[in-house]
Amino acid sequence: MEAQVDFRSAVLSGEQIRAGRAILRLDQAALAKGAGVSLETIKRLEAMRGPVEANTRTVAAIAAAFQRLGVGFDNREKAVGVWMCETAPLSPDMAV
């Protein structure tokens, strides 16, 4: 059974967004389209250090787009991470 993420409480850092895109080899425009946010929003959030300052819905939309592509985020007290599920789509274009 696949773990469900509560996107309403999603906390992402600019570093995690950049790393998630790197794992998938997505450009900023593709992530923006998949998340339903503007390219400028992605650029602004990726430029931030630490937790992004954005509308909860925006962060949730970005986290949901990554989840559809098989990428998840780990936010612990002293460590953050990005992981890719073994069952991720073969091509990011197929799922975004």
pLDDT digits (tens, 9 = 90+) for 39-95: 999 999 999 999 999 999 999 999 999 999 999 988 877 767 888 887 656 555 545
pTM of the model: 0.79
- Is 2 exposed, middle or buried (CB count within 10 Å of its CB: 0-12, 13-18, 19+)? exposed
Q: Where are the domains of the chain?
A: 7-95
| The CATH number of domain 7-95, selected from 1.10.260.40, 3.40.50.300, 3.10.450.50, 3.40.50.2300 | 1.10.260.40
The pLDDT value recorded for residue 52 is: 94
